[in-house]
Structure 1
Amino acid sequence: MMWLQRIRTSLVMGMAIALIVLTGCSVQSDVAQAPPEDGASDLMETPMPAQTANLPRLNGEATVQLTVNGSPIVIQVNGNDAPITAGNFVDLVNQGVYNGLVFHRVVRDPQPFVVQGGDPQGRDPNFPASRLGTGGFIDPATQSERRIPLEIKPAGGSEPVYSRPIADPPELPHTRGAVAMARSQSPDSASSQFYITLADLDFLDGNYAVFGYVTSGMEVVDQIQQGDRIESAEVTEGIDNLQTDQ
């Protein structure tokens, strides 16, 4: 019956969302900050966390090309509305972190959801597939995992809100082809794992940080299978907008 199908779809999509949350980064505290009080507006800015001082920042836009299965996927990265999240991604691309990494999670049933990759542990073909989704980028300078705060700019806002989900519509919504950071339940736990949406997923808006969109090659994204690898990732435009020295 139709109502049974709706229930099944809701349950499966709920499980799929949980997979983004639970496998976004390595295990850590799940303490989350409270959402805004009823009636509070997210247009009120949240100060940028102190830990962002040493993180890369993208002052403007950049273009990144991923090559998967021999075909290009072009991503326009938006540092105007998500400077820390975009800067982290462009910096990791520029360092070659994503070269050879596997897409460890692909969810298309019961309806298109996301393809997810970016776990550095996936470079090793002998690493157990069941454990992929637990790793993040280990910064050689600190020998610890780089983590970035949740960063979401409300539509019409002048600055992003940090370290908490927002209730207002975001400037960068989860439309088909959105590129966003995976994280654990802690808002400030994103590292290197990212996902690309296979459909409009507005129920993720305000909870995960979108930082760009696929502008060419969605037909390639649509064909990605679990276990496919990013053959190469490169910044083709806008590298001069990347600020790594604070």
Structure 2
Amino acid sequence: MTAITRRLFGALVIGAVALATPAFAQSGTPHLILTLEDGAVDIELLPALAPKHVERVVALTEAGEYDGVVFHRVIDGFMAQTGDVTYGKTDGPEFDLSRAGMGGSDQPDVEAEFNAESFQRGALGAARSQDPNSFNSQFFIVTADASFLDGQYTVFGKVITGMELVDALEKGPKEQNGSVANPDKIVKATIEYK
């Protein structure tokens, strides 16, 4: 193998490794920044605990899927849920507030990545159906101690700043499982590495 061939081969290997590296493997820790009407919520993602969940949210965010998505379910003293990129995206072709919370992305569901992180105020959790392996695009932020969810739902992030904005989201009645009639939305979602 000539020196030029070795260099070319080495460059190809490095390029292939770079392409195979997950999106969140850039320098620093990925943060999901949710820009709301009144400011931004900074959520540190936890790829060491739940790499597949983080990878999915990073990919959907970078594709612009969360822009304009409503917080369709907000229960006072418990949590705020969003992320239905099908029925909850206000400028999407299938937007239907009455169905928000029933949709997801066109990607396959992600298997649970249960971990030892507790659902304390500010924890980011993976929303799912009765099937523990059904996370797709929806997530929730707990606004109080919700440790009763530990081991049943995947924690994959934690709010660093902006919890006051989460607390201020329009809430739905508890008797309607927090379904919000006039929901707030994610104006823009981005990923930053810090």
Q: Which among 78, 82, 101 is matched to residue 113 of structure 1?
A: 78
Residue deviations 1:10-30 (CA, integer Å, cap 9, x gap): xxxxxxxxxxxxxxxxxxxxx
Q: Paired residue for 1:15?
A: none
Contact 2:69-2:185 within 8 A present in 1 as well? yes
In the alignment, the residues of structure 2 paired with residue 221 and residue 101 of structure 1 have an alpha-carbon distance, to the nearest angstrom, of 15
Q: Paired residue for 2:60?
A: 92
TM-score, length-scaled by structure 2: 0.76
Q: Paired residue for 1:203?
A: 148
> In the alignment, residue 206 of structure 1 is paired with which amino acid?
G
Q: Paired residue for 1:65?
A: 33
Deviation of 1:57 (Å): 6.6
In the alignment, the residues of structure 1 paired with residue 24 and residue 150 of structure 2 have an alpha-carbon distance, to the nearest angstrom, of 22
TM-score, length-scaled by structure 1: 0.60
RMSD between superposed Cα atoms in Å: 1.9
In the alignment, the residues of structure 2 paired with residue 118 and residue 135 of structure 1 have an alpha-carbon distance, to the nearest angstrom, of 9
SS of match in other structure, 1:119: coil
> In the alignment, residue 79 of structure 1 is paired with which amino acid?
P
Mapping of residues 20-59 of structure 1, within 5 Å: 58-59=24-25
**2:178 counterpart of 1:228:** no
In the alignment, the residues of structure 2 paired with residue 69 and residue 180 of structure 1 have an alpha-carbon distance, to the nearest angstrom, of 22
Distance 1:124 1:219, change over 3 A: closer
In the alignment, the residues of structure 2 paired with residue 96 and residue 127 of structure 1 have an alpha-carbon distance, to the nearest angstrom, of 15
Larger CA deviation: 72-81 vs 87-96: 87-96
**2:69 counterpart of 1:101:** yes
**2:131 counterpart of 1:186:** yes
Q: How many residues align?
A: 158
Structure 1: which 5+ residue stretches go unaligned?
A: 1-53, 140-145, 154-169, 239-246
Structure 2: which 5+ residue stretches go unaligned?
A: 1-19, 171-179
Q: Paired residue for 1:79?
A: 47
Q: Give the structure with higher Rg (CA).
A: 2
